[in-house]
Amino acid sequence: MTRRSDDRPGGVPDADPGAVRPSGSGEILERLAAIVESRKGADPARSYVAQLLAKGPDAILKKIGEEATETV
């Protein structure tokens, strides 16, 4: 069983305080989520995000996979 830094039992240890994190990654994800949310009701003929949302989870996950491979 793992323990947190305050010695309480827990399934997930505390994050490494010395870990390198991308600057502003939380803000970027919040902005991205806001854009996706704003496009949910958009016309799929005018919005690529709306097209993906209309096609469903498989199309969305395929696009995420494509973009993820470009970042590696």
27 and 35 Cβ atoms separated by less than 8 Å:
no
Whether residue 2 is predicted with pLDDT greater than 80 in this model: the reply is no
Global model pTM greater than 0.85: no
Whether 63 contacts 51, CB under 8 Å? no
pLDDT tens sequence across 3-46: 445 555 555 555 666 666 666 778 988 999 999 999 999 999 99
From residue 35, give the alpha-carbon distance in Å to each of 7, 39, 40, 47.
Answer: 40, 6, 9, 11
Task: Report the pLDDT value the prediction gives residue 9, as an integer from 0 to 100.
Answer: 57
Per-residue model confidence as pLDDT tens digits over 34-47? 999 999 999 999 99
Rg of the Cα trace of the chain? 18
**Residue 49 pLDDT class (50, 70, 90 cuts):** very high
